[in-house]
Chain A
Amino acid sequence: MPGTGLNLKPWNPLMSKPKVAFYWCASCGGCEETIVDLAEDILGVVEKVDIVLWPVAMDFKYKDIQAMPDKSIVATLLNGAIRTTEQEEMAHLLRRKSVYMIAYGACAHLGGIPGLANQFSREHMLQFVYEQGPTMVNERKTRPQVKFADHGREPVLPELHNVVRSLDQVVDVDYYVPGCPPTPQITKQAITALLENRLPPKGSVIAPDIALCDECPRKASKPPNVAFTEFFRPHQKLADPNKCFLAQGIVCMGPATRSGCGAACIRGNMPCTGCFGPTSRVRDQGAKILSSLASNVAAKDEDGIRKTLAGIPDPVGTFYRYGLAKSILRRKVNLPPTGNDH
C-alpha cells in the first residue's frame, strides 16, 4: 500500500462490498451531479460498493455513521469547503471512520468558490447578506442564531467560521479529485483506482501533473510572444473558436492549471478558469499566473501597464477563483478574529 502506512488491504473483496460514503459540505451540489453524470456507469459503481452515506440521494442518519467502527468505511468522497462547525465535525467524524479521505472537487481540494469569502470578514459578509443586499428587506436586522428557544426546546444550528478552509486544512486527506465539478471521466478513474486498489502515493491529485496547454486543442495558435496590450473578459468579446484565448487577450488559467479535463471549457469556447488547481510544483496558482501574465504585458511604462491591467477588474476572483483558501494569501490579513479564529 504505497503511502498509506497500512500493511493490510482495507477490505477483503471476497467477504463483503467495500463501504463508501459521499458527503457534501460548503458546495453548490455540482459535485453530486457528477456522480449522477456517470450515467449507466453508476450502476457498476453501486454494484461494487456498499454506500453507507449519501445525503443527497439516500436516507442515512449521522448516528448510523457514529455507530460504525473506526476505519470501517473504505473511502469517503467529500465535496465542498469547510466553513461551519457542523462541516468541521462531519469531516473529523468521516476521517475517523474512513481508511481513505478523498477531497472531491475544487471546494474540498482548494476551498473553491466559497473560499473567495476569505476576502471579507464574517461580519462583513453577514451584514451584506442579511442587511445590505439589494434584494434584502430586513428592517429588524434579524440574523440567524446559533441557538434559539422554541416551545421549550433549544435547537442548535451550526455556526459559520470566520474563514473558509479546504478539507486538508481541517483533516488529513489521502487523495484529491480536482475540478468544479470533477469530470465523470476523472471520477471514474478515481473510483476504479480505488476499487482495483491501484492507488498512487498519498497526497496525489488524481489528474495529470502537467498544465492544461498540453492537451489544449488551441495550443499551436499561441504565438511565442503573447505581448498583452488589452485584456477582455469573456463576455466582452466574441472569441475566435480556434485561437488561444491568451492570444486574444482573454485571461485563460490554462497555463497554471492541471490538465485532465480534456480542455472541456475551451472546447465550449470559454477560457479555463483554473478549477483543477495548480500542478504539484506550484504552491500558489494565482501568484503564478499573475506573475506569468504580468511579465508578458507589452507596455513597459506605468500608465500603459495600468491601462492594460484595467481589463482585469477582479484579480482575486480571476486568478484565485478556486484557490484562495489554499493559497499562500489564504485570507485577508486584517480579518478580526471574532467568533472563530480559524
Chain B
Amino acid sequence: MKPIVPKKHEPVRIGYYICHCGTNIAAMVDVEAVAKYVATLPNVAVSRHYKYMCSDPGQELIQQDIREHRLNRIVVEACSPLLHEHTFRKATEAAGLNPFYCQMVNTREHNSWVHTDRAEATRKAMALAHAAIERVPHHKSLEVKKVPINPDVLIVGGGIAGIHAALTLANAGKMVYLVEREPTIGGHMAKFDKTYPTLDCAMCVLSPKMAAVGSHPNIHLWTYSEVAKVDGYVGNFQVTVRRKPRYIVEDLCTGCQECVAACVFKEPKFPDEFNLGLGKRKPVFLPFAQAIPPIVMIDPEVCLNFKRGKNPDGTHTVSDKCKKTCVQACGDRKAIDFKQTEETKNITVGTIVMATGFKIFDARRTPFFGYGIYPNVYNALEVERLINASGPTEGEIVLRNGQRPKKVAIVHCVGSRDENTNRWCSRVCCLYSLKLAHLIKEHTDAEVYNFYIDMRTPGKGMEEFYNRVAEEGMHLIRGKVADVYPDPNDGATGRVVVQAEDTLTNKILKIPVDMVVLSVGLEPHPEADNLRRLFNLSCSSEGWFLERHVKLAPVSTFTDGIFLAGCCQGPKDIPDSVAQAGAAAAEAMALIDKGHIEQEPNTAYILADECSGCKSCIPLCPYSAISFDESRQKAIINEALCKGCGTCVAACPSGSIVQNLFEDDEIFSEIEGLLAPVPA
C-alpha cells in the first residue's frame, strides 16, 4: 500500500478512540461521554468508543477510518502503552500512515483502575484525551532504524540457572561468556544433597551439566571473575570483566591436586568456604571434588608465601618465605604463579543473561533462634553439607561435639513471611524442610519436629511429596517458634529447648532437642544493588531484579537485551530456575537470530548549528552516547547508542538538543491540553 504522507499544510485530522476494555475502563469512565466531548475538540475528525480496541475489529476500525476519513493522526485512549502501543502503531502503519502519528493515552492503569469516583474519573479521561489531542498535531513522521546485533552472549552467574542458559545458547551455536565470581560454577545447587520432590542427588543432576559447560567449545568460562563495567546497548554491549588472581595458571593446571598434598600445611587448617566453615581446607585447595573448572587456587590471606593482609589497592605481596613445596610438586607443569595479578578482559556481546542468584537469610538477624549463639543451631544449607557424602562429615549427621542428634527441630520461615525481616515467602523452605526432615530421619533415625506457619506445597508432585514425608512419621507442628534456649536440665551436650505455640491445639510446647535446623529464606544477593547500577536494571522494593512484565515479559528487563534467570528475579526452586533460564536463553536467541535490533526513534539529536559546545550534556549520558567533536567544537549524539532517556535534553542549557516524540512543542501542548477546563 502506498504510504500516506500528510502534506505540510494539510489540515490535521485526528481519529480518537476510547476503549471500554470490557468493563476495566467502561465501569469507571463514561466512555460515551468522553467520546462526545473529544468530538468537540479542535482537529478531531472522528471520535469513537469501542469495546476492545486491541481486538482485530478494533484495529480494523482505525484502519477503515484512516482510509475513509483521511485521518492523519490517531489517538487511542486505552491501557498502558507498555501493552498495546505496538499494536496500535502497527494498525496505523497497516493503513499506510506513519506509525508515529499514533499516540496512546493510558486511561486504565492511570485512571479507571486507581479511582473510585466515576464522574471524576470521566473528567480525568477527558483531560488526558485533550492532552493527546493537543499533542498529536506536532507529531512527525519517524523511521525505525535497524542496527546489527552481536551474536555473543554474556551470562552473569554460574549457578544452575546460568549453567542451563549457557548450555542452551552454546548448544544452539552461540558464543557464550559465562562469568562467575566464585572459583567454581555450581552455585547453591552444588551444595545441596538431594533435591525435592524426587529426592535425586543434586550433584548427579548438576555435575554432568557443569562438566559440559567446562568443556563446551562455545563457552568461555571465567570463574573467580566479576563484571566491572558495562557500556553500550542491546546488540552491542561492551563489557569489562575483572579476573581475580587465583595464583594458578588455568591453562597449565591439570587439577591433579598434587600441590594440595604437598603444601607445607600437612593438615587442612582454614575454614572451608564451600562447606560454610564446617570443614577445613589448606591455603591451596580445590573448592570441592567436582569443581568446574577443576583448577585449584591459592588463598593469599593464609598462604605462607604471601605477606599477611591485603595492600590498600586490594593486591597481595609475595613474601617468598615459604619452601614452596607446592611448586616442587607441580614441577614441569609450572601452573603456580605467585606473581599473578588481576586481569581485565574486554568483550562485546549483544545480549546478557543475569543469573546472579540469591543469598540465604542470615539467621543471626533473628537472635531468638540462637543461631551463632548455640552451637547446635544450624542453618539449612549447613545441614545440606552435613548430609552430603562429599561434605565435611562425609554424610554423617553429627553435631559440632561429634554426637549424633536424637531429636531434631526444623524451624520453617526463618527470615520469611515476617514483618521484622522479610515479608515474602521463600517459596522453597516448606519443601526443603520436608526433604531435610526425611533425610535426617533416614540418616539418624532421629525424631524430627517441623514447626511451620502454613504448609505450602504447590507444584507438580509437591503435595504427593509432602504426604509421603508426613507418612514417614514426622511431628508436624503448626506454630511459630518463639524462642530457642539452652535446656536447663542438660549438662554438656548443648541441648536446647524449642518453645512454640501449637496453634492447632492452642498449647505452648517446650521441646528439648539436640539439633535445631533453621529453614532460612532467600534474599536478594548483597551485590544486587551494585549489579543493578552496573547493568542499569530496576529492582523491586525487596531488591529482586524487576522483570519487564510479570506475565507478558517475565524474563525481560526494562533494559533491552538483558534477561533474567533464576533467583535474582525472585525466590524459586530448581525446576523453575531452569525453566526460566531456558526462557531467557530463548529470548536472547530470538534477538540474535533476527540479526538486527529495531531501534525506537525516540532518540535525541543535537541541533548542530545551535550547539554552543558547552559540554554540559557529555558526562550526563548514561549510555555514553554523547561525544565532543573537537574539529567543529560541538557535541554529537551517537543515535545508535541513544536510548531516549531525555537526560541531555533536559540539561542542555541552550535548548539545542531535541528528542523525537518529546519535543518541547509536543510536551507543552500536552500540558496545555491537560490543564484546559473540562466539562463538569
Interface residues of A (CB under 8 A from B): 209-214, 219, 222-227, 254-256, 259, 278-279, 281-283, 288-289, 291-292, 295-296
The distance from the CB of A241 to the nearest CB of chain B, in whole angstroms, is 19
Q: Number of B residues contacting the other chain (C-beta, 8 Å)? A: 24
- Considering only residues 628-655 of chain B, those with a C-beta below 8 Å from chain A are 628, 633, 647, 650-655
B652 engages A292 (CB within 8 Å): yes
For residue A214, which residue of chain B has the nearest CB?
Answer: B612
The distance from the CB of B617 to the nearest CB of chain A, in whole angstroms, is 8
The distance from the CB of B665 to the nearest CB of chain A, in whole angstroms, is 10
A227-B619 Cα distance, complex, nearest whole Å = 8
The distance from the CB of A269 to the nearest CB of chain B, in whole angstroms, is 19
Given contacts A213-B613, A225-B618, A295-B647, contact A289 B653 (CB under 8 A): yes
The distance from the CB of B232 to the nearest CB of chain A, in whole angstroms, is 19
Given contacts A255-B614, A295-B620, contact A211 B654 (CB under 8 A): yes
Interface membership of B615, Cβ < 8 A: yes
A283 engages B668 (CB within 8 Å): yes
B609 engages A210 (CB within 8 Å): yes
**Can you add 12 more A-B contacts, CB < 8 Å, to A219-B613, A256-B654, A279-B610?**
A210-B609, A211-B653, A212-B612, A213-B614, A222-B615, A226-B615, A226-B619, A254-B612, A282-B655, A289-B653, A292-B651, A295-B620
B619 engages A209 (CB within 8 Å): no
Interface membership of B64, Cβ < 8 A: no
> Can you sample 16 A-B contacts with CB below 8 Å?
A209-B610, A210-B611, A211-B656, A213-B614, A214-B633, A226-B616, A255-B654, A278-B654, A278-B655, A282-B654, A283-B664, A288-B652, A288-B654, A295-B616, A295-B647, A296-B651
B619 engages A279 (CB within 8 Å): no
Closest 10 CB pairs of A and B: A281-B655, A211-B612, A256-B653, A255-B614, A211-B654, A255-B653, A282-B655, A213-B612, A225-B619, A214-B612
Chain A residues near B664 (CB-CB < 8 A): 281, 283
For residue B634, which residue of chain A has the nearest CB?
Answer: A214
Chain B residues near A254 (CB-CB < 8 A): 612, 614
Given contacts A278-B654, A278-B655, A289-B653, contact A224 B619 (CB under 8 A): yes
The distance from the CB of B529 to the nearest CB of chain A, in whole angstroms, is 13
B613 engages A214 (CB within 8 Å): yes
B619 engages A222 (CB within 8 Å): no
A156-B623 Cα distance, complex, nearest whole Å = 64
For residue A223, which residue of chain B has the nearest CB?
Answer: B615
Chain B residues near A282 (CB-CB < 8 A): 653-655
A130-B618 Cα distance, complex, nearest whole Å = 50
Which residue from A209, A278, A279, A296 sits with its C-beta under 8 Å from B616? A296
The distance from the CB of B313 to the nearest CB of chain A, in whole angstroms, is 23
Chain B residues near A210 (CB-CB < 8 A): 609-612, 654, 656
For residue B647, which residue of chain A has the nearest CB?
Answer: A295
Chain B residues near A292 (CB-CB < 8 A): 614, 616, 651-653
Chain A residues near B668 (CB-CB < 8 A): 283
Chain A residues near B651 (CB-CB < 8 A): 291-292, 295-296
Between B607, B656, B664, the greatest number of chain A beta carbons within 10 A of the residue's beta carbon is seen for B656
Interface residues of B (CB under 8 A from A): 607, 609-616, 618-620, 628, 633, 647, 650-656, 664, 668
The distance from the CB of B534 to the nearest CB of chain A, in whole angstroms, is 15
Chain A residues near B654 (CB-CB < 8 A): 210-211, 255-256, 278-279, 281-282, 288
A305-B619 Cα distance, complex, nearest whole Å = 17
Chain A residues near B633 (CB-CB < 8 A): 214, 219
Given contacts A224-B618, A283-B664, contact A255 B650 (CB under 8 A): no
For residue A219, which residue of chain B has the nearest CB?
Answer: B613
The distance from the CB of A330 to the nearest CB of chain B, in whole angstroms, is 15
For residue B613, which residue of chain A has the nearest CB?
Answer: A213
Between A211, A226, A279, the greatest number of chain B beta carbons within 10 A of the residue's beta carbon is seen for A211
Chain B residues near A283 (CB-CB < 8 A): 664, 668
A292-B650 Cα distance, complex, nearest whole Å = 8
Chain B residues near A213 (CB-CB < 8 A): 612-614
B614 engages A291 (CB within 8 Å): no
The distance from the CB of A219 to the nearest CB of chain B, in whole angstroms, is 6
Given contacts A224-B628, A281-B664, contact A259 B612 (CB under 8 A): yes
A209-B652 Cα distance, complex, nearest whole Å = 14
The distance from the CB of B563 to the nearest CB of chain A, in whole angstroms, is 28
Between B620, B647, B655, the greatest number of chain A beta carbons within 10 A of the residue's beta carbon is seen for B655
Chain A residues near B611 (CB-CB < 8 A): 210
A278-B607 Cα distance, complex, nearest whole Å = 16
A203-B616 Cα distance, complex, nearest whole Å = 28
A225-B627 Cα distance, complex, nearest whole Å = 11
Between B613, B628, B653, B655, the greatest number of chain A beta carbons within 10 A of the residue's beta carbon is seen for B653
A279 engages B615 (CB within 8 Å): no
Chain A residues near B618 (CB-CB < 8 A): 224-225
Chain A residues near B607 (CB-CB < 8 A): 281
The distance from the CB of A293 to the nearest CB of chain B, in whole angstroms, is 8
Chain A residues near B652 (CB-CB < 8 A): 288, 292
Chain B residues near A212 (CB-CB < 8 A): 612
Between B616, B619, B620, the greatest number of chain A beta carbons within 10 A of the residue's beta carbon is seen for B616
A224-B302 Cα distance, complex, nearest whole Å = 45
For residue A287, which residue of chain B has the nearest CB?
Answer: B650
Chain B residues near A223 (CB-CB < 8 A): 615
A251-B613 Cα distance, complex, nearest whole Å = 17
For residue B627, which residue of chain A has the nearest CB?
Answer: A224
For residue A253, which residue of chain B has the nearest CB?
Answer: B653
Which residue from A222, A225, A278 sits with its C-beta under 8 Å from B614? A222
For residue B607, which residue of chain A has the nearest CB?
Answer: A281
